[in-house]
Amino acid sequence: MALIHRNTSGVYIIAATPFTETGAVDVAGIDSLVDFYAARGVTGMTVLGIMGEADKLTAEERRAVLDRFLARAGAMPVIVGISDSGMANLADFGKYAMDRGAAGVMVAPNRGVPREDRVIGYFAEVCRALGPDVPVVYQDYPQTTGVPVSVRTILEIADANPQIVMLKHEDSPGLAKITAIRAAEAKGGRERLSILVGNGGLHLPQELQRGVDGAMTGFAYPEALVDVVRLHQSGAVDRAEDVFDAYLPILRHEQQPGIGLALRKMILHRRGAIPCPAVRAPGPLLSPTDLAELERLMARTAARVASL
């Protein structure tokens, strides 16, 4: 399979992990979900990220989930979240993923003293453990990891480790970080980083206008991300933002912390992507009020998109 690199662009959808009502991994659901994503035109998938509930899976389950995603993905590139408290287990799973045909791996800085020099040391250790041929995505998501980093730290890590080819950008506030990275690259002397944005895509048009290469997030309307990125890249900047704005009300709703994943999986379920909307326990349950509210927003979205 082709590997991700410093010019990778497009939409890498953060894939949900489907479970049955009893909380078992739903392997058949994986096939259905991959087909749903593929039919909506995504460039690739990122599996076993935070929103893929990787931390609720055993190592065996993670391998089984990955295998099934890869089998169904065919030629579509798959990035694999391998963040782990232990370095050996991180590296083992990273090698497993690459051996099976992954396009790259994604790592967030581990918890611990949140000093930036420690993060630099951590990523050096990660790259050493993986070996130099494994392309790595740095996930910059301090709201969840508790580890904020400066732009210069990101640049230093990417300069020191050529295999860190991509930034999953989801710091907040974050727009100025994108501009600062692109400005630093424009001065010359370093290779550009591919930047895909997360955070549900909440600021996607602005982020594209500031120079990112696409999105890596799990919004349950992947076609929206695909259309916005494609239109923007083709020069239809205003039209891209018009399309985005039509989806923004439900995107903002899905982006709520805590309950967002349950909403996302319910939308995916209602749209036929997964047989069962269950989040693995412990996780939020949607109340009848939540459900009615979500249906109302889905209907409004459909009407608005139809009028585009």
Binding residues for pyruvate: 216
Strands (E), 202-269: 214-215
Q: Which is nearer to a copy of itself, 191 or 238 (CB)?
A: 238
Q: Which is nearer to a copy of itself, 31 or 125 (CB)?
A: 125
Which amino acid appears at position 258 of this protein?
G
254: which 2 tokens?
Answer: 């899905």
Q: Which is nearer to a copy of itself, 8 or 84 (CB)?
A: 84
140 contacts 168 by C-beta, under 8 angstroms: yes
Instruction: Compute the least distance from the CB of residue 19 to a copy of itself, in Å.
Output: 10
Distance CA 30, CA 274 (A): 8
Binding-site sequence positions: 216
Instruction: Compute the least distance from the CB of residue 220 to a copy of itself, in Å.
Output: 17
Instruction: Compute the least distance from the CB of residue 43 to a copy of itself, in Å.
Output: 25
Distance CA 256, CA 109 (A): 23
Please give the residue ranges that form the binding site for a copy of itself (CB under 8 A).
23, 53, 55-60, 84-89, 110, 112-118, 122, 125, 129, 148-153, 172-173, 175-176, 179, 202-203, 206, 209-210, 241, 245, 248-249, 252-253, 256-260, 280-282, 287, 289-290, 293, 300, 304
Instruction: Compute the least distance from the CB of residue 167 to a copy of itself, in Å.
Output: 15
Q: Which is nearer to a copy of itself, 6 or 118 (CB)?
A: 118
Distance CA 76, CA 6 (A): 18
Distance CA 153, CA 45 (A): 27
Q: At what angle do helices 175-186 and 151-160 cross, to 10 degrees?
A: 50
State the residue for tokens 């002397």. Answer: 189
